[in-house]
């Protein structure tokens, strides 16, 4: 049994706690929030024995093998440092950091302390994407040439994401980190992104954020492939998450937000789907969200890899790569030109 400590008490912490219920060889034994009252409420909700408002105290426990960081972007470096100094394996939510430089510091910390690390990029673990990747790997559409990926909803749950200066960016950092890693997953991680072109604007939420609420990025790969990444906080009606892969022998489309359950309701029925924006009218609830979006699968993968003493499919190296690519996208937004990737760390 792998014993975990969970840092955070917000939406993504709830999602991870739900996902970890599907991992038969994992047990969350403690959770942290800077507000002890919130930590205790979270612990009661998920049946977690012990609560803390001190990260170091949680991480110092000898019975905890792995720490899961589910905190705001600006806290990731400090949280990883505390967990690494305690010698714990670490899983960190996306994005790994606010910038490539911060991500490089996180990598330096885990390497210095020699701890196991996993980057919690759920999109590559979702069942739809996993099946599409299996088909591509089998040669179903020949050589993959282009990818178009779009993730959109009406905006973040928590106020801290709207503060672009503190969070590190807007919709592109918040959501584009998913689709950038999807592109690397399909085009090959040894097939580096060489340059990017990006556009972003604050089209709707100028009263909430100085960051972009809409963004488009083009990623050129060394092998000649092109990925188009769209990220938006201005779309009502729940999550939109679609991938389109075009190859020399066909195409594959995935739509993670597509659901077998839909209908018209006049009376609220409780929680329907992340960022549904409405409780009545035409509704499209997603059954088993933690599984549909890949959270259960990624947590099972991380726990199994740690237990076996092997490196997981997604590590902090991948998180650093994604942050570096997004840094170049932000540079392109400012310059209005194609920007080369600066890989130095």
Question: In this predicted model, what pLDDT tens digit does every residue of 301-320 receive, in sequence order?
Answer: 999 999 999 999 999 999 99
Q: In the predicted model, is pLDDT for residue 33 greater than 90?
A: yes
DSSP letters along 160-184, please? Answer: HHH-HHHHS-SHIIIIIHHHHHHHH
Please state the φ and ψ torsions of residue 321, each to the nearest 5 degrees. -60, -45
Residue with tokens 């918040």: 174
Helix (H, G, I), strand (E, B) or coil at 234: coil
| Mean pLDDT (the chain, rounded) | 95
Query: DSSP 3-state assignment of 189?
Result: coil
**Sequence spans of domains, the chain:** 2-122, 124-295+324-340
pLDDT band at residue 5, thresholds of 50, 70 and 90? Answer: very high
More confident residue, 272 or 338: 338
**Dihedrals φ, ψ of 48, to 5°?**
-95, 130
- 22 has pLDDT over 90: yes
Confidence of residue 111 (pLDDT cuts 50, 70, 90): very high
Residue 344 has pLDDT above 80, yes or no: no
Whether residue 108 contacts residue 82, with contact meaning beta carbons closer than 8 Å, is answered with no
pLDDT at position 345 is 67
Q: What percent of the chain has pLDDT over 70?
A: 100
* Lowest-confidence region among 55-59, 158-162, 322-326, 332-336: 158-162
Fold classification of 2-122 is Rossmann fold (3.40.50)
DSSP state of 211: S
Instruction: Please state the rounded mean pLDDT for residues 127-155.
Output: 96
Please tell me what DSSP assigns to residue 96: S
Residue 54's SS3 state is coil
CATH 2.40.100.10 fits 124-295+324-340, yes or no: no
Mean pLDDT along residues 210-239: 95
65 has pLDDT over 80: yes
pLDDT (0 to 100) of residue 59: 98
Percentage of the chain exceeding pLDDT 90: 87
The answer to which of 23-37, 249-263, 323-337 has the lowest mean pLDDT is 249-263
Between the alpha carbon of residue 203 and those of residues 171, 214, 234, the distances in Å are: 12, 7, 8
What's this model's pTM, rounded to 2 decimal places? 0.95
Give 214's contacts (C-beta < 8 A, 6+ positions apart). 171, 200, 201, 202, 203, 204, 231, 232, 233, 234
Integer CA distances (angstroms), 153 to 10, 24, 233, 290, in order: 18, 32, 5, 17
- pLDDT tens digits for range 158-192: 788 899 999 999 999 999 999 999 999 999 999 99
Question: What average pLDDT does the segment 272-286 reach?
Answer: 87
């Amino acid at each position: 049994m792998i014993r975990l400590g969970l840092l955070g008490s917000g939406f993504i912490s709830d999602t991870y706690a739900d996902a970890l219920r599907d991992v038969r060889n994992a047990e969350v034994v403690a959770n942290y929030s800077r507000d002890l009252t919130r930590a205790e409420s979270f612990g009661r909700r998920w049946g977690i024995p012990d609560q803390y408002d001190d990260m170091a105290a949680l991480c110092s426990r000898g019975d905890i093998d792995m720490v899961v960081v589910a905190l705001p972007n600006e806290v990731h470096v400090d949280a990883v440092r505390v967990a690494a100094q305690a010698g714990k394996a670490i899983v960190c939510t996306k994005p790994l950091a606010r910038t490539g430089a911060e991500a490089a510091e996180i990598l330096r910390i885990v390497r210095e302390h020699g701890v196991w690390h996993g980057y919690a990029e759920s999109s590559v673990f979702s069942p739809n994407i996993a099946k599409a990747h299996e088909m591509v790997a089998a040669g179903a559409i020949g050589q993959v040439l282009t990818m178009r990926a779009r993730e959109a909803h009406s905006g973040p749950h928590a106020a801290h994401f709207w503060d672009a200066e503190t969070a590190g960016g807007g919709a592109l950092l918040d959501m584009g980190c998913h689709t950038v890693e999807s592109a690397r997953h399909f085009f090959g991680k040894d097939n580096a992104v060489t340059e990017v072109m990006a556009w972003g604007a604050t089209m709707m939420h100028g009263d909430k954020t100085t960051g972009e609420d809409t963004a488009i990025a083009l990623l050129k790969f060394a092998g000649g492939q092109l990925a188009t990444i769209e990220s938006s906080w201005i779309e009502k009606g729940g999550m939109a998450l679609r991938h389109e892969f075009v190859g020399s022998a066909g195409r594959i489309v995935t739509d993670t937000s597509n659901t077998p359950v839909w209908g018209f309701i006049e009376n609220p029925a409780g929680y329907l789907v992340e960022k549904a924006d409405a409780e009545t009218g035409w509704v499209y609830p997603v059954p088993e969200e933690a599984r549909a979006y890949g959270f259960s699968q990624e947590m099972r993968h991380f726990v199994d890899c740690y237990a076996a003493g092997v490196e997981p499919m997604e590590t902090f190296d991948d998180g650093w790569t994604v942050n570096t690519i997004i840094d170049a996208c932000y540079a392109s937004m400012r310059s209005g030109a194609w920007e080369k990737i600066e890989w130095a760390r």
